[in-house]
Structure 1
Amino acid sequence: MKQEISVELSGGKRISFETGSLAKQAHGSAVVRIGDNVILATAVANPEPREGIDFFPLTVDYREYTYAGGRIPGGFIKREGRPSEREILTSRMIDRPIRPMFAEGFKSETQVIAFVLSADTENDPDVAAINGASCALHLSDIPFLGPIGAVRVGLVNGNFLVNPTYSEMRDSLLNIVVVGTADGIVMIESGAKEVKEESVVDAIEFGHTEIKKICAALNDFREKAGKPKRQVTPPEFDQAYFDDLKSRIGAELIDRLDTERHPKAESHNLVRELKKAQLEAIPADDAAARSKFNKYYEALRERIFRDAVIDQKRRPDGRAFDQIRAISIETGVLPRTHGSAIFTRGETQALVTTTLGTSDDMQRLEVFEGEAKKRFMLHYNFPPFSVGEVAFLRGAGRREIGHGALAERAVSGALTGEDTWPYAMRVVSDILESNGSSSMATVCGASLSLMDAGVPLRAPVAGVAMGLVKEGEKYAILTDIAGAEDHYGDMDFKVAGTRDGIT
């Protein structure tokens, strides 16, 4: 049976949800409308958990069909092909806030799909897709601990706007997508024109007020149309086993994890050798015992890190909480490129080049409104040797596309207008070494490379990754996170900007 609900947001904006008429064999489905945008979001999870994995197998796919905008695909092949960069970025934007919201121990293959069925020329469908995914999961039997809500916030003439239109965004100093629960923020993605930190904080608070309205409506919707949730038994923690392991190898593991004494590669080798030695004492045919050891060995590594940061106020490499790793810069390093720079921060290194072109070299984009051109492109590459690994070199993956778009957005805020600099610009960042914050090294390197090529910037742009470790009421905020701080911490918050504000 069809059920509907709508939410009135600030400024007369509205978002509506419906379920029960489309995609009824999915475990959860929702149709979301903002303006003339219509999004179908579905959620499905296999009935049985996937065995032998230590991660949550979630897949998110977002698709924009050209028929949604009343268009036929260009080119010789008249159907949609591989996902566009925008579709990949929106898939990641949906994935990030929902991934941590599932019940602990849930390991069933889960897929969330969002289709754009109708698209107007005034509203961006990405926010509707995030809300649709949340609604579909919340109504389903999948153990999703939501709901979450999402809004875009703009800043025009000193006033905040919720879910601004494209025309409103052209005058906005801020473009920030805020996603959260009724109790807190889960994800933020933003671009700005050198906006002060205070304005960004105010925008987040404004957005969270609107998110609370969406979450309250989705909770009411679940009361009317939701399915009973699957029961998931949280994995038991064998405290006695953990304590015994800690007593036997804890002190030695602490020493081997100390990256102030041992560089990253050496520390990894030492930790791996200790693990191998312990596994040799467990019979090779006892898969359960070996699996249990692997699980608790990782738990011990995480506990050592978190205890050191929270209780001892010490980072793995001995830095102060607000200390940035040593930085070195070289520019003009390649003789035939228009601009080049090597930016190194600690054990993270980016080789960044700039190539200039004419308007004929601008990227042509096929969007709902027709065709558009893009004069600034930033591409990020992460070869396996940068972390001492062996892997096939293939096309850019979702992570590489996401990191490139993040750096592109950060740097584009400092570019001058096309009337003063009409050239096409392509920046390529090749990560040569990585130990955290490679996307922010890309931002710094891109700024240097563009200046080396003679591109007029309003101001140099730099970026840094901030981290958070929180245990109860105790917390630590970490500047320029690396390695374990990224892996075991509770937040990875990347910030880029000029001296005057956030971009």
Structure 2
Amino acid sequence: MNLTPTSVKFDIGGGREVTIETGKMARQADGAVTVRCGDCILLATVVANKEPKAGQSFFPLTVDYQEKFASAGRIPGSFFKREGKLSDSEVLVSRLIDRALRPLFPDDYLCDVQVLVTLISSDPEVMPDALAALAASAALAVSDVPIQEIISEVRIGRIKGEFIINPTRTQLAEADMDFIVAATAKNIMMVEGESKECQEEDLVKAIELAHDAIRIQVKAQEELRGLIGNPAKREFALPYANEELKAKIEAFAAGKILEVSKSALGKHERGDAFGKIEEELKEHLGELSEEDAPLVGKYFHKLEKEVVRNMILDQSIRLDGRVLDQVRPLAMEIDLLPSPHGSALFTRGETQSLTTVTLGTPDDELLVESAAVSNYVKFILHYNFPLLHR
């Protein structure tokens, strides 16, 4: 048994070295790496089914990021000492990874894919969320799972006027800009963050510096993949398609969809109008084979998306009739509810937010724990979404 790992190293600035290693841990996974910076070590694994489930019509990608308390030699402070579901912060980091990875899989790839990123050793000064997407991408890079490009993410912060890639926890506490940027070597995939105040040129500079750092990380992943022999990406069966049926649907429905899209109807009226077109389409096509019948809805909704997108790009008109620089109608109302300490109703177009505020005492502070830190917070934000679109 050979447990000698293959590894690459690169510098992220300030003399800090990052090591990506594969071949030692999680050897039964389709791809697995550890990423280390200081005493912070992340283990990322990826596993994918060889075949999609019967009748599968979407890409089932699962991404979970978790910080184990044992990584910092700690036991959770809650009543249940065993770690349970992901915390809110871990869910948000999982989403940062997911949003960058998901577009890179082939459109017709429908096999289940599971990406797990786990903090197994914590460094109090190293922010592990800034390394999580690098670990996930590297695990995919060394696997045979058919991802089309290599990516990475970095955090960029501005501390006392200086931009720093992946600042330490102490540095980040003084930052007036804090952004996470995801990208391939060529294209920016995602930008998310916050700033106290920020000029447009400052944001552009931050993204450019982040992209430069990401290119180094992508190159390191390519080097690691080369060291293990550039494993071929697995072949996968394309789902059944019927180009003739697709052309028929486009010929019948494209003009009708555009007509409804340009009519500036309300959301529900527009949905009903699109639904009527789809029903007319099914009547027009008549009886279809068992293979072709499920494709009608798929092709119709893809065509709907394409027509609406082209209308917005080519004619600068949105679905509700607004031009590109026109904001939806806004309305705000306060003291809507008699009993809560505070309440407000905010309406933007057809979107509404009903917000309440409750004032408490120091006894109501919330203990928020992670592997590295435990803090009491005075501000607690709860988000609910009780109304889904029909």
Report the TM-score, using the length of structure 1 for normalisation. 0.73
1:160 aligns with 2:163: yes
8 Å Cα contact 1:282/1:289 also seen in 2 = no
After superposition, what is the alpha-carbon deviation per residue over 1:442-489, rounded to whole angstroms, capped at 9, x for unaligned?
A: xxxxxxxxxxxxxxxxxxxxxxxxxxxxxxxxxxxxxxxxxxxxxxxx
Rounded Cα–Cα distance in structure 1 between residues aligned with 2:238 and 2:79? 52
8 Å Cα contact 1:309/1:315 also seen in 2 = yes
1:55 aligns with 2:58: yes
Rounded Cα–Cα distance in structure 1 between residues aligned with 2:312 and 2:240? 26
Rounded Cα–Cα distance in structure 2 between residues aligned with 1:331 and 1:4? 58
Aligned to 1:131: 134
8 Å Cα contact 2:44/2:115 also seen in 1 = yes
* 1:237 Cα deviation from its structure 2 partner: 6.8
Aligned to 1:254: 258
Rounded Cα–Cα distance in structure 2 between residues aligned with 1:71 and 1:259? 60
1:82 aligns with 2:85: yes
* 1:14 Cα deviation from its structure 2 partner: 2.2
Aligned to 1:411: none
Gaps of 5+ in 1: 390-503
Aligned to 1:170: 173
Gaps of 5+ in 2: none
Rounded Cα–Cα distance in structure 2 between residues aligned with 1:370 and 1:215? 30
- Amino acid across the alignment from 1:231: E
Secondary structure of 2:33's aligned partner: strand
Aligned to 1:479: none
- Pairing partner for 2:27 from 24, 29, 48: 24
Provide closer, same or farther for how the CA distance between residues 259 and 18 of structure 1 changes in structure 2, counting only shifts above 3 A: farther
Rounded Cα–Cα distance in structure 2 between residues aligned with 1:75 and 1:108? 38
* 1:114 Cα deviation from its structure 2 partner: 0.9
* 1:228 Cα deviation from its structure 2 partner: 1.5
The 5 A counterparts of 1:459-498 are none
Provide closer, same or farther for how the CA distance between residues 258 and 53 of structure 1 changes in structure 2, counting only shifts above 3 A: farther
Deviates more, 1:301-310 or 1:204-213: 301-310
Report the TM-score, using the length of structure 2 for normalisation. 0.93
- Amino acid across the alignment from 1:127: A
Rounded Cα–Cα distance in structure 2 between residues aligned with 1:220 and 1:290? 46
Provide closer, same or farther for how the CA distance between residues 197 and 377 of structure 1 changes in structure 2, counting only shifts above 3 A: farther
Rounded Cα–Cα distance in structure 1 between residues aligned with 2:343 and 2:233? 54
* 1:323 Cα deviation from its structure 2 partner: 0.7
Secondary structure of 1:16's aligned partner: strand
Rounded Cα–Cα distance in structure 2 between residues aligned with 1:9 and 1:82? 32
Provide closer, same or farther for how the CA distance between residues 370 and 301 of structure 1 changes in structure 2, counting only shifts above 3 A: closer
* 1:277 Cα deviation from its structure 2 partner: 3.2
Provide closer, same or farther for how the CA distance between residues 75 and 239 of structure 1 changes in structure 2, counting only shifts above 3 A: closer
Rounded Cα–Cα distance in structure 2 between residues aligned with 1:332 and 1:59? 42
Aligned to 1:91: 94
Provide closer, same or farther for how the CA distance between residues 97 and 370 of structure 1 changes in structure 2, counting only shifts above 3 A: closer
8 Å Cα contact 1:29/1:139 also seen in 2 = yes
1:147 aligns with 2:112: no
- Amino acid across the alignment from 2:247: D
8 Å Cα contact 1:154/1:163 also seen in 2 = yes
After superposition, what is the alpha-carbon deviation per residue over 1:219-273, rounded to whole angstroms, capped at 9, x for unaligned?
A: 111111242111246668755433332332332222233461x210011112112
8 Å Cα contact 2:67/2:370 also seen in 1 = no
The 5 A counterparts of 1:86-485 are 86-225=89-228, 226-232=230-236, 240-258=244-262, 260=264, 262-280=265-283, 286-384=289-387, 386-387=388-389, 389=390
Rounded Cα–Cα distance in structure 2 between residues aligned with 1:259 and 1:93? 36
* 1:103 Cα deviation from its structure 2 partner: 1.9
Aligned to 1:394: none
Aligned to 1:471: none
* 1:196 Cα deviation from its structure 2 partner: 2.1
* 1:306 Cα deviation from its structure 2 partner: 2.4
8 Å Cα contact 2:100/2:190 also seen in 1 = yes
Rounded Cα–Cα distance in structure 2 between residues aligned with 1:103 and 1:251? 29
- Amino acid across the alignment from 1:108: C
Query: Aligned residue pairs: how many?
Result: 386
8 Å Cα contact 1:329/1:341 also seen in 2 = yes
Secondary structure of 2:383's aligned partner: strand
* 1:276 Cα deviation from its structure 2 partner: 2.4
Secondary structure of 1:106's aligned partner: coil
Aligned to 1:10: 13
Q: Percent of aligned positions with the same letter in both sequences? A: 37
- Amino acid across the alignment from 1:74: G
8 Å Cα contact 2:50/2:236 also seen in 1 = no
Provide closer, same or farther for how the CA distance between residues 369 and 293 of structure 1 changes in structure 2, counting only shifts above 3 A: closer
- Amino acid across the alignment from 2:234: R
8 Å Cα contact 2:331/2:348 also seen in 1 = yes
Rounded Cα–Cα distance in structure 1 between residues aligned with 2:57 and 2:268? 24
Deviates more, 1:105-114 or 1:196-205: 196-205
Rounded Cα–Cα distance in structure 2 between residues aligned with 1:369 and 1:27? 30
